[in-house]
Chains A and B, each alone.
Chain A
């Protein structure tokens, strides 16, 4: 099992550009999450999904959109990137509710200039 994978690993964008981050999991997990980590801080939840076709806002959702068209994939989109979105983005999944153990991907380092 590959677990949780993320694509790409690194990306540099200019202000105003758009991009999509892809998260995939092969553990048949229902719940998936997108977090961001800023220097010297823990992770904060952006959006999450409780199952295929569902999405919900987390703690810091502004400027991001998400989609979960397939159970194994969770996409995070930036429609118009801003320097404040420079961060490391982590995807995670759990079997069912957040009460279950969450497994994290390797992260995507995004820089917006």
Chain B
């Protein structure tokens, strides 16, 4: 099956720092989503980005489908950005999102 690998697994930063999270996938996809799971367990949709670049405030994402990776950028981190960030993909013709293992981000004040 498709492999979804996220890096780094853990990231600890000071408030105000910038970060880049990476998602590599092993097959062609027609859906790629980034989620933030906050400390209360809620899954928050960040981006639906099977290709191209999108920005939403301090967050932006880029997916290069031909090279099978996606990047999530977080600028000027805040403590509320802490949590686990998941990348999830759907390969063409499949019926399920396949999740990566996540990147645990901790922002210290």
Report yes or no: A58 in contact with B88, Cβ–Cβ below 8 A. Answer: no
Mask of A24-68 contacts with B, CB within 8 angstroms, 1/0: 000000000101000011111100101000001011000000000
Report yes or no: B99 in contact with A101, Cβ–Cβ below 8 A. Answer: no
Using CB atoms, name the residue of chain B closest to A90. Answer: B43
Main secondary structure of the interface of B (DSSP, over half): strand
Whether, in the assembled complex, B73 has its beta carbon less than 8 Å from a beta carbon of chain A, the answer is: no
Report yes or no: B96 in contact with A48, Cβ–Cβ below 8 A. Answer: yes
Report yes or no: A42 in contact with B95, Cβ–Cβ below 8 A. Answer: no
Given contacts A99-B30, A99-B31, A100-B31, contact A43 B97 (CB under 8 A): yes
Report yes or no: A42 in contact with B43, Cβ–Cβ below 8 A. Answer: no
Report yes or no: B33 in contact with A102, Cβ–Cβ below 8 A. Answer: yes
Given contacts A59-B96, A98-B90, contact A107 B43 (CB under 8 A): yes
Report yes or no: B33 in contact with A56, Cβ–Cβ below 8 A. Answer: no
8 shortest interchain CB distances as A-B pairs: A42-B99, A101-B48, A45-B96, A99-B30, A104-B43, A98-B90, A99-B31, A43-B99
Chain A residues with CB under 8 Å of chain B are 33, 35, 40-45, 48, 50, 56, 58-59, 88, 90, 92, 97-104, 106-107, 109
Beyond known contacts A42-B99, A59-B96, A100-B31: 11 more, CB 8 A cutoff: A40-B101, A42-B88, A42-B98, A45-B95, A45-B96, A48-B95, A88-B41, A98-B95, A98-B96, A102-B31, A107-B41
